[in-house]
Structure 1
Amino acid sequence: ERLNLEREKMKSDRFLQSMSRIVDRYMVVNLDTGRYRYHELRSSEPLYPTSGQYSEMVEIISKRYVALTETENAKLSRLLTPDYLRSVLRKPDDNLKIEYCSRTENAYMVLTVLPVEWHADGTVAVVMQVVQDIGQKVELENMANTDSLTGLFNERYFSRVLNICEAKKLPFVLYYLDLDRFKPVNDTYGHAMGDRLLKEISARLLRCIRSRDYAFRIGGDEFALIVSADMDAEQRSRMAERIQTMLSAPIVIEEKVLSVGVSCGCACYPEDGDASQVRITADSRMYAEKQHHHADDRTEEQS
């Protein structure tokens, strides 16, 4: 009997070692008694109490992390309750995956909840919650979707967001922006100064939008904004004026006062067509305004 116990322990240890290659920590929860046992596989010290009341553990997790889900008002404090877990885990093959991140640190995880034991009536009694760190994956995705100079989203992600909005039939307004008189800054003060100017312009663009909107650097001195809203013509015009006023204000860098203008064209989905047509229309309107600005600049130079 002692040898059998030792063999079972060795099997269990090997199992945990294998799990630790892909799993950072896991927790077994008895939904009936409201008790849990928590196991840490990566760190030498456990991040949480190793056992206790499940409701208290949920409260701890909810204070530290926030769920990354498109579902409105989805909170970990609701997604992890016994009632909700029972409602989604109805068959042995069912599972629940929740991506979440730290409220204060650059940490991203995915939690997979699996049913382990069942009652005779088919309701789940015990679940295992497995946590994997996906921080590296998220970081790589962010790098792939982000412009390295300004920190704004890049053109690759711009095309993706347009496709997602169209697929979900989400109305939006697209603003295409191109800086006026940017080349003279590069020619006069050098590319390093031009880069700093682009960074300041990008910071100002972010102040023009809300957290659910998007700002992109398409390339060079060309930018785009996607405003997630169904705006009428007057609202779109006011937004364009705000953007132009914000970006055209003088910028002081190393005691040098730099001033650029901005040409802006906008189009909206679905009023102006599908996503590709909205992109073409916004670009065309921006180009028309840029030609107008060039004409004004030549008139001023002649005067």
Structure 2
Amino acid sequence: MDAAGAGGDMMGSRKRKSAMQYCGDTAKMAVQVFPSNKRKKPAVSVCTLLLPHDMMLEVLLRLPVKSILRFRPVCRSWAALFSSKDFCSLHMMTSKVLPPAPKLLVVSPTSRSDSSAVYSYSLSGHRDDFLFTFDSAFHDSVEVVTPSPCYGLTLLFDAAVPAYYVCNAATRAITRLPPYRYPGRSYTAGLGFDDQTREFKVVRLINGYNHEKEAVMCDVYTPGADCWRPAAREVPFGLLQFAISAVDHAVLNRIPPVFANGFLHWLICPSFVIRRPRAAIILFSVAEETFGSI
């Protein structure tokens, strides 16, 4: 055997060893992420009988989101797997495809007076895709609070009810949030994502009255809850005037907060503060539910 052939065999052997090591690590990760339940025997699909679990997991992790949504009714084991938070996290880490261009939601009135249509508008194209009809929503009463989606979710607000809605453009699902506290007061809301719990949170800042103990109140809604709850931390006393300015600025100029790097950002307007503010932005940590400033 010549030197070139020996070198090729060595390189091939290294590649095979690397692939075997990768498959072994993937199998270990799959066992850790999806442990078996010995007490209750899960429903076994036909695919798992034909292919090993780790190989099937590798295939499923490389499916696009649309295919995963279509394959959920295949069997109960796949439905439970695709619905688990661990699979979603592992799918995001495994995916090597660049995310598509962001899409914006547009609400348009229909021929009926009590409904509105929701469209998905792509920045790279010129065509609007119809998503669904928003019933019980009067003309010009529904607005998109977060023009840019947050992890695929968009916050809508119906001023006629009034009520907030969380919309998923991929699944075309919409969830109406429960009635909130302190109606009839100035407030602003934003949508954020908690990386620790892998859940979204809707956060509202409300300006109170002068005679109330809390000049600015903060309510938080999490998925599955039947009501809003107070945030874990109140607005610090040193940031009360800035928070009041941020709420007034967001309401009067229709500027919603922006979610980035785990924080909701409210812009402070200097004209709404007696003294020159030492900060320009109010921060709210979605995970820790604490306030800060920039």
* Interval of TM-score (by shorter of Structure 1 and Structure 2): under 0.3
**Higher helix share goes to which structure?**
1
By relative contact order (CA 8 Å, sep 6+), the higher-ranking structure is: 1
